Structures are given as structure tokens and as C-alpha cells.
Amino acid sequence: MRHGCGCAGGRNGSPMSDPLVALHAVLRGIARAEVAVSGGVDSLTLAAAAHDVLGARATMRHATSPAVPPEATARVRALAAARGWALDVFDAGEFADPRYRANPADRCFFCKTNLYGAIAARAGGTILSGTNSDDLADWRPGLRAASQHGVRHPFVETGIDKATVRQLAARLGLGAIADLPAAPCLSSRIETGLRVEPELLALIHRAERLLAEALAPRTVRARLRAAGLVIELDPEALHRAAPHRDSLVAALRALTDRPISFAPYRTGSAFLRGAHP
């Protein structure tokens, strides 16, 4: 199924001022694309655009592991089936990498090294990522791995930021995906230096699902720290949780005997910035 870009041109009348036209132009210059699809709004939007432009010359590559929430994989599978994407689901093997499991500050470098290496071994096309221009403002070791594997970032090449990605998702008919909250991998919830274990990721996922069902928060993160499990919530959800704190703690106690506390959500708070190389 193909979707027209619906472009009306920009303020100056130039069609290239339309981000979707610019994105399509970049994609048309690629002979064969291997789109790394995590299940978030960025990669799914890129996948939709790549399929629209390249058709059978675009394959979506989705890696599963204990760090990937099952709902993300289900989302990728459902969209691929609905839109006729060529989809390859595989294990990138990062959990066999002791460097990744040790959870250093540059853990993402080892994760992406395994991911891109696995895609390259399975395919011969150009690997594409959904990195957008806003991501460049943060410290992202995974971009170093991308550079080493010749990965291209079409959103960065066209100056597309997160807000524009969401607009494009809506224009491409992706519905609720346009409003998906940010959802980094489950390993990002484990404090730097604490070993990444599948059972800990399962605990994190169950805790977040429990809070999501109980409070319907805009944002929830179950941060596993050396001192215990910290539930981070957006301000409104944290306020709603206050009268139910005891019952929520009791429910979480069924999952873990670690100390449990609540805190306001902070981006990347499990990452110990002073620890990076």
C-alpha cells in the first residue's frame, strides 16, 4: 500500500521545503535499504517512507532480545502485515557479548555494534536508522557504531527533528503511532555498572506494565539502581499515585523484594554521566 506525500510545498513554494519530499528524495538515491526498526515512532515512520519509495527494495530488520518489550515486536509485526512490508525478525546477539552485559557507560555502542553487524551479515543493502536531528544533541555511543558500519540516517540528512517525525507519521497514515511516547530499550533503565540480566529486564517490564495499567501515566520508567527500584512518573501521574502509594508498593512487592521508591521522571537518569569514557 502506497501513500502520496500530500505535499503542497513550503512557504517559498519550493517542493523541497516539504520534509516528506526531501526524505523521499534521499530514499530514492538508495539502491536497496535495510531499515533497522525498533518499534518506535522514528524507525516505523522511516520504514513506512522507505516502503512507499522503494517497495520490495526495502527490508525492515527488527532485532528481538530481552531488552525489547514484546509490545514493540508485536507493533512491528502488525504494521508490516498491514502494509505489506518485507520483515526480518532476528536475534542480534548482544546478550552473548560480555561488554554489553557489563553495562558500561557506552553500552549502546556494543548494542548497536551487534545490531548493525548482524544486519550487515544478513543483507547487502544500505543500513538505515531512524535517528533524527534532535538525537545529535545528546551523547549517543550508538552513533559511533553506526559510523563504523556505514549506517545512514535519512532524518538527519534532511534536518528532520522529532516533532517533524511525528507529523510525517500522521501524514503517512500511521495513526496512533504518531503519538507514541519515547520508549528506549529496557536496558536503559538499569543503572550504569549494574550487569544487564534478562530476569532484571523482565522485572522492569512487569513493573512498568503494572504502573501503566494502574495509573495510565504519560511516562513511566522503572529504574533499577544499586539502592533499589525507583518508579519515575510524569508529574500528573506522580500526583495521582500519592493516595495509592501503599497499594502500589504492595503490588510491586509481589515482583521484587528490593527497596521501592517513587520519583519524578528524569530523562536518562539511570545513566551515570560521570562514568562515560
Query: Helix or strand or coil: residue 160?
Result: coil
How many Cβ atoms are within 10 Å of 190's Cβ, its own excluded? 23
CB-CB contact of 85 with 53 (8 Å):
no
H helices within 19-136, ranges in order? 19-28, 41-54, 70-83, 98-101, 107-122
Cell of 198: 534478562
Closest to 186 measured CA to CA, from 177, 178, 176, 197: 197
Q: What tens digit of pLDDT does each residue of 52-90 get? A: 999 999 999 999 999 999 999 999 999 999 999 999 999
Please state the φ and ψ torsions of residue 32, each to the nearest 5 degrees.
-150, 130
Report pTM. 0.89
- Report residue 140 CA to chain centroid gap: 13
pLDDT score recorded for residue 220: 96
* Strand ranges across the sheet with 260-264: 220-225, 228-233, 260-264
CB-CB contact of 260 with 253 (8 Å):
yes
Q: Indicate the range of 212-221, 254-263, 267-276 predicted with least confidence.
A: 267-276
Kindly give, in sequence order, each residue whose CB lies less than 8 Å from that of residue 91, ignoring residues fewer than 6 positions away.
Answer: 63, 64, 65, 118
Query: Helix or strand or coil: residue 9?
Result: coil
pLDDT score recorded for residue 87: 98
Distance of alpha carbon 251 from alpha carbon 207, whole angstroms: 9
CB-CB contact of 201 with 235 (8 Å):
no
Mean pLDDT for 28-52 is 98
Closest to 231 measured CA to CA, from 255, 197, 196: 255
Distance of alpha carbon 174 from alpha carbon 167, whole angstroms: 10
Residue 127, strand partner residues: 34
Q: What tens digit of pLDDT does each residue of 145-185 get? A: 999 999 999 999 999 999 999 999 999 999 999 999 888 89
